[in-house]
Chain A
Amino acid sequence: MDFSIIIDNLPLLFKGLGLTLQLLIISLVIGFFLSIPLAIMAASKKPWMSLPVKIYIYIFRGTPLLIQVFIIYYGFSQFEWLRESPLWVIFKQAYWCAIIAFTLNTAAYTAEIFRGAILQTPKGEIEAAQACGMSRFDQYRHIILPSALRRSIPMYGNEVIFMLHATVLAGVITLVDLFGAAKIINSRYYAPFESFISAGLFYLVITFTIVFIFKLAEKHFLKHLEQ
Chain B
Amino acid sequence: MLKVNDLHKSFGSLEVIKGVSLQAKKGDVISILGRSGSGKSTFLRCINFLETPTKGTISLSGETITVADNRKGVSEITDKAQVRRLRTRMAMVFQQFNLWSHMTVFDNVTIALKTALKLPKKEANARARKYLAQVNMSDRSDYYPAQLSGGQMQRVAIARALAMEPDILLFDEPTSALDPELVEEVLNVIKDLAKQGRTMLVVTHEMAFARDVSNRVIFFDDGIIVEDAPPQEAFNNPKSDQFKQFISKEY
- Alpha-carbon gap, A122 to B98, bound state (A): 8
In the complex, chain B residues 81-123 whose Cβ is within 8 Å of any chain A Cβ = 84-88, 91-92, 94, 96-103, 111-112, 115-117
Cβ 8 A contact of B88, one of A125, A132, A150, A226: A132
Q: Which chain A residue lies CB-closest to B92?
A: A131
Q: Which chain B residue lies CB-closest to A222?
A: B102
Total interface residues on A, CB under 8 Å, equals 23
Total interface residues on B, CB under 8 Å, equals 30
| B111 CB → nearest A CB, Å | 5
In the complex, chain A residues 195-212 whose Cβ is within 8 Å of any chain B Cβ = none
Residues of A within 8 A of B160 (CB): 132
B147 interfacial by beta-carbon distance below 8 Å:
yes
Q: Which chain A residue lies CB-closest to B145?
A: A224
| A115 CB → nearest B CB, Å | 18
A143 interfacial by beta-carbon distance below 8 Å:
yes
Asked if B91 contacts A226 (CB within 8 A), the reply is: no
Query: Can you report 11 residue pairs joining A to B where beta carbons are below 8 Å apart?
Result: A122-B98, A124-B94, A131-B91, A131-B92, A131-B94, A133-B88, A133-B112, A224-B103, A224-B144, A225-B146, A226-B144
Known: A130-B50, A227-B146. 20 other contacts (CB 8 A): A122-B101, A124-B94, A124-B98, A125-B100, A131-B92, A132-B88, A132-B91, A132-B112, A132-B164, A133-B86, A133-B87, A133-B88, A133-B117, A134-B112, A135-B84, A135-B116, A138-B116, A150-B102, A224-B144, A226-B147
B48 interfacial by beta-carbon distance below 8 Å:
yes
A residues with a Cβ closer than 8 A to B are 122, 124-125, 127-135, 138, 142-143, 146-147, 150, 223-227
In the complex, chain B residues 52-107 whose Cβ is within 8 Å of any chain A Cβ = 84-88, 91-92, 94, 96-103
Asked if B100 contacts A143 (CB within 8 A), the reply is: yes
Q: Which chain A residue lies CB-closest to B147?
A: A227
| B94 CB → nearest A CB, Å | 6
| B143 CB → nearest A CB, Å | 9
Residue interface mask B172-183, A partner, CB < 8 A = 1: 000000000000
From B50, B112, B117, name the one whose CB has the most chain A CB atoms within 10 angstroms: B112
From A128, A131, A225, name the one whose CB has the most chain B CB atoms within 10 angstroms: A131
